[in-house]
Amino acid sequence: MRKEIRISGFGGQGIVLAGVVLGRAAAVYEGYNAVQTQSYGPEARGGASRSDVIVSDEEVMYPYVRRPDFLVTMSQEAYEKYVGSVPEDGLVVYDSTLVEPSREDVEHVGVPATELAEEELGLRIVANMVILGALRELTGIVSFDSLRKAVEDSVPPGTEDVNVRALKLGAREVRE
């Protein structure tokens, strides 16, 4: 098993943190090998942000994402840039507050992550955790409990609760 996950959006949305949390959940709490990378091209100027995670049964020798099995996207620009690289059996999870999808031959699930974060939790900045909770629920790539622990390890002290609530909000949104 090797899964390539790309999380994308713009700077300040916590894209990187979402990737880090997912990698940590998979490796530390599920026993997989995981590597999370950022490579930065000139397109990152102005604030495009991207976080790639490889989760594998085996050692990850080649940690770059070429064909993301799962693409998470929290900006239109990122959506347009990366949606073409998703294979036909892949999955796109997008923040429907911010992204209008266009590709039709790949499964898409929209989650109004930014809206939910703002309206339900009063904190736009946890939209990343809302969409991560949705991704987990849709893919089962790690257990909820592993994801929760990885969040608790990774977020600033004192913000654990609101981040875990955001995960649950995203999960609930796609279960309904």
Strands 2-10 and 48-56: antiparallel
Give min distance, CB of 88 to a copy of itself, in A: 29
51/15 Cα distance (integer angstroms): 6
Strands 70-73 and 48-56: unpaired
- Residue showing tokens 């977020």: 155
Q: Which is nearer to a copy of itself, 108 or 165 (CB)?
A: 165
Q: Which is nearer to a copy of itself, 107 or 119 (CB)?
A: 119
Q: Which is nearer to a copy of itself, 60 or 106 (CB)?
A: 60
Give min distance, CB of 37 to a copy of itself, in A: 5
Which among 8, 165, 126, 143 is positioned nearest to 72, based on CA atoms? 8
Q: Contact positions toward a copy of itself, by CB under 8 A?
A: 11-12, 14, 16-17, 20, 23-24, 26-29, 34-42, 44-47, 49, 60, 63, 125, 153-157
